[in-house]
Structure 1
């Protein structure tokens, strides 16, 4: 078991080292200029030189990400609770939930940013709209996936709607909810970056998307790749944290 876990960790790490070595070698062998394709060493130098500014931008992006994730989880769970109460409510509201999901956020983000005067709130709302659908769909599916025998048992003892919801449906929905949370975590980061691209906000609250835009305007491609690297690392860290939380919460079900 431990050897399998070690292999699952070492294999992608070794593959990444090989890819970086080939990338570095290709850039040096063919003398590719950094403004076309920076080498890993150029990216590392940019990350070292501009580290404080990029880390500050990363924190700004993560603030929007966590706020959007919290809004998506709370809003998504409440909507799922509402939809599961009645087939009529679901038929009335579910089409609007789907419309909200299939509408490109880049099309409505400018309108949201104009209507919502506070930029951080507007960015959070845009990111939450991207992340909320998997929470709604997975939680709703989990709330429906109850054991028929247990449901009949609750009906036999005349349990109220609230008792059935919190003592039967919510525990049954927990695995599906955690799966939706894992998806929503990554989408919150994506939504935060997309919203920052659309808003193009600078200053002290500038996120990594603004740093990427500025680096592109200034043709500072190594710095652009350094910002992209930080987004990737943040995404992997959030995914790992959510996966660990999922294992911890569902451990008693194994």
Structure 2
């Protein structure tokens, strides 16, 4: 009889897992490519059509020089706007989700209060901002309130939509097992509404920065302690277009920073079960 070998066959080599750096380079090159093309087009535009007209459209070199010359002011202004937008955004998250949770439990409350939430969104903030300043003063609190107003409605609307989208069969199943409305809310409605909530938070992320800058437009006067909105007005008054471009870019990147943080948190919460985040 032949002797059967007891040694196991060698396992097939597992495919190499790409490193995080390789994945980042693979996924990020289209963004970098578009940025390079945009900057190159900007440079060509300032070198041809707007040659010698830096007061209208400054070149990338002039903007970089303005950033280097005013780095301290830009840093203070960005941090100030970041603080104001963050407080307004956090208040909008707490208030928006709480309001939507209450409205989702009563059709009467929803019909009574939701139209006013819509009105809050449709009222021009620029028209309301002077009243807010009159009531709360020329301070950071007024800016935070304006940021809150700008970013509140998308959170309320999307959260309420998600809570209202819960399957009626599942709600009846919870009721069949004598589960309370509080249990059904925490165990069923809120988890199911999470994708809608994340969507509302993403929309409001940029709006909170816009609200903070609009508030600074109304409240601030040019000084080293003001936020980006204050410094934009100050640079415009001095006709310092290169610095104006730098401040607008900083405000844009700040809103993008907010959006990316919310997106990263949302993807982590949803990646194991929801199609919108699987594979991201």
TM interval, short-chain normalised: over 0.9
Deviations 1:29-78 (A, max 9, x none): 35232111100110011011101111100000000110011010001011
Equivalence map 1:46-61=2 (5 Å): 46-61=66-81
Q: Which has the higher helix share?
A: 1
Equivalent in the alignment of 2:43: 24
Q: 1:115 aligns with which of 126, 131, 135?
A: 135
Equivalent in the alignment of 2:85: 65
Instruction: Point out where structure 2 has 5 or more consecutive residues left out of the alignment.
Output: 1-16, 275-280
CA distance in 2: counterparts of 1:69 and 1:96, whole angstroms: 20
Count of residue correspondences: 254
Equivalence map 1:1-254=2 (5 Å): 6=25, 8-30=27-49, 31-117=51-137, 119-203=139-223, 205-254=225-274
Equivalent in the alignment of 2:11: none
Which one has the largest radius of gyration? Answer: 2
Report the alpha carbon displacement of residue 26 of structure 1 after superposing the two structures with TM.
Answer: 2.9
Deviations 1:106-155 (A, max 9, x none): 01010001101361111101111010001101110111121222211111
CA distance in 2: counterparts of 1:224 and 1:169, whole angstroms: 46
Q: Which stretch has the larger CA shift, 32-41 or 65-74? A: 32-41
CA distance in 2: counterparts of 1:201 and 1:63, whole angstroms: 18
Report the alpha carbon displacement of residue 6 of structure 1 after superposing the two structures with TM.
Answer: 4.7
- Larger relative contact order (CA 8 Å, sep ≥ 6): 1
Deviations 1:150-192 (A, max 9, x none): 2111111222221121121111111111111111111101111
Normalising by the residue count of structure 2, what TM-score does the alignment of the two structures yield?
0.85
Question: RMSD over aligned Cα, in angstroms?
Answer: 1.9
Report the alpha carbon displacement of residue 25 of structure 1 after superposing the two structures with TM.
Answer: 2.6
Instruction: Point out where structure 1 has 5 or more consecutive residues left out of the alignment.
Output: none
Classify 1:203/1:46 alpha carbon distance in 2 versus 1 (closer, same or farther; 3 Å).
Answer: closer
CA distance in 1: counterparts of 2:34 and 2:270, whole angstroms: 31
